[in-house]
Amino acid sequence: MAHGKSQFAVWRCTKCNTPIKTTAYNKQNNETITKELKKFCKKCRAHVPAKRKDAKKSS
Ligand SMILES: [Zn+2]
C-alpha cells in the first residue's frame, strides 16, 4: 500500500463548529465521499449536519 495518498477529514458541527469526528480516506475516492452528514454532536446534544473539512496529514 502506498502511503501519502490518504487524507484526513474533520467533521464539524455546523451549529457550534465543534469537531465531531475525524476520518481518514483515500484521496482517489474523494468524489464518492459525501461532504455533509448528519452526526451526533455532544455539545448540541442532537443530530446536526456536520460538514467535512479536509486536512492533509502532516508528514
Ligand atoms: Zn454542535
Residue 31 placed within a domain: yes
Q: Which residue has the cell 474533520?
A: 10
Residue 44 placed within a domain: yes
For strand 6-13 and strand 36-41, is the pairing parallel, antiparallel, or unpaired?
A: unpaired
Q: Which domain holds residue 51?
A: 6-55
Q: How far is the CA of 44 from the centre of ligand 1 (A)?
A: 4
Residue 38 placed within a domain: yes
* Comparison of pLDDT for 40 and 57, the residue scoring more: 40
Domain of 39, CATH number, reads: 2.20.28.120
* Comparison of pLDDT for 45 and 4, the residue scoring more: 45
**Three-state DSSP class for 8?**
strand
Q: How far is the CA of 37 from the centre of ligand 1 (A)?
A: 13
Residue 1 placed within a domain: no
Q: How far is the CA of 14 from the centre of ligand 1 (A)?
A: 7
Residue 4 predicted with pLDDT over 90? no
Tell me the pLDDT tens digit for each residue of 21-53. 988 877 666 566 678 889 999 999 999 999 988
Number of structural domains (the chain) is 1
Whole-number pLDDT of residue 28: 67
Residue 50 placed within a domain: yes
Alpha carbons 26 and 8: distance in angstroms, whole number: 9
Stated pTM of the model: 0.70
Residue 28 placed within a domain: yes
